[in-house]
Structures are given as C-alpha cells and as structure tokens.
Amino acid sequence: MNNELYRKLVDMYAGGELPEELEQELRGRALSDSGLAIEMQSLSDTVDALRAIPDPEFTEESYQRVLMRLYARGADIRPTGPTPTHLQYYLPIQG
C-alpha cells in the first residue's frame, strides 16, 4: 500500500476499528516512517483521552435550557408535519 492510504487509516487505527492484519501492517509501516508513527500515537492518545471523559448528563433542565436558547435566537422549532389523525377523535356529546 502507498503512504497516502496508511495516513487515511490512522483514524480507524486510533479508534480500534481496523482488522488485526491491517493494524499489524500499519504498525510495521510506522517503524520506518516516523511521521506516521507520531500521527498514530498522538491520535491514539487523543481518542483514549476522549473516551476517559464521562458522558454528559442530559436532564430535563438541560433540554429546557436548549429550547430557551433556540427560542431566544429566533429559531422556528414548531413541528412541521400534520397533526396525526388518531389524535383527532370525535367524542359524542352527552346530554
């Protein structure tokens, strides 16, 4: 494979998404190409650091804050689809 393809595979390598044989080939190529090795190491460190951060907690309060910001900026977030017909039942008038 050419060097350009190896550089394109670095992000998949850092995410652990490559098959074992391709990962070994990429590591072997990195032994002779210091730029590729540095890129692989730095991106792997970045991915590991991002995975170590706990997931954010999205609560009802967070949802309301996002809505208020959207309203404040003038976003039109009304539903665009028609009202479903199953919500339009006619009830008989009782006397």
- pLDDT, mean of residues 46-67: 92
pLDDT of res. 95: 56
Q: What is the mean pLDDT of the chain?
A: 87
Contact 33, 1 (CB under 8 A): no
In a domain, 47, yes or no: yes
How many structural domains comprise the chain? 1
Per the domain annotation, does 90 fall within a domain? no
pLDDT of residue 41: 95
Distances (CA, A) of 73 to 58, 66, 69: 21, 11, 6
Whether residue 7 is contained in a domain is answered as: yes
- The whole-number average pLDDT for the span 15-39 is 92
Q: What percent of the chain has pLDDT over 70?
A: 86
- Is residue 48 in some structural domain? yes
Q: Read off the amino acid at residue 25.
A: E
| Structural domain contains residue 84 | no
Within a domain: 85: no
* Alpha-helix runs per DSSP H in 1-95: 3-8, 10-14, 20-32, 34-52, 60-72
Domain hosting residue 30, numbered range: 1-74
